[in-house]
Amino acid sequence: MRVRFTVEENYAGWRLDRYLQDKVRRLSRSRIQKLIETRLEHEGPGRLKPSTRVAAGQCFVLLKEAEPEPETPLDFGLVHDDGALIVVDKPAGLPVHPTARYLLHTFTALARERFPGRKVDPAHRLDRETSGLLCCGGAPPHTGTLKRAFAAGRVEKSYLAIIEGEPRAERFL
């Protein structure tokens, strides 16, 4: 996997290792330095060193080994599609958006393949472990309208849980 960086003006003059450490905070400085030596590409003469001072607009690519993604369901049901509103039946185990662990095995990646040429964008959250209906806009203006409706509380969501045993209370908030 190739991760592209373009140095912003506020980082001009920083050491390359410090810049990357600020951008990829989970990695130690020694790990960053090793990646610079072994997995950094740039357009320009010579090799970049950890101590190289970066300039605004400078571009380089960090080559990252892609770890295999965990298995997820790779399909979802289509409940409604009128062009503006798309409602899908998301299975449990399918993440909606990309994360550090999931890139291609997500609803948004699958939606790009299933609806080519359309910008299908979820209007609300639905956790990876949760199955249920996911409302999406069929284009950016529709998505914005849906997201505002969810944020303003004009859309009511309800959940049904199937449990084993007897609950201690009649109702949970």
Out of 17, 81, 82, 127, the active site residue is 127
In this prediction, residue 99 carries a pLDDT of 82
In this prediction, residue 161 carries a pLDDT of 80
The helix/strand/coil state of 133 is strand
Contact 128, 96 (CB under 8 A): yes
In this prediction, residue 108 carries a pLDDT of 95
The structure tokens listed for 146 are 């849906």
Which portions of the chain are predicted below pLDDT 50? none
pTM: 0.62
In this prediction, residue 162 carries a pLDDT of 83
Neighbours of 60 (CB within 10 A): 21
In this prediction, residue 169 carries a pLDDT of 84
Alpha-carbon distance of 95 to 137, in angstroms, equals 18
- Catalytic annotation on 75? no
Q: What element of type H or E holds 4?
A: strand 2-6
In this prediction, residue 27 carries a pLDDT of 85
In this prediction, residue 79 carries a pLDDT of 98
Outline where the chain has alpha helix (H): 16-23, 29-39, 107-114, 140-151
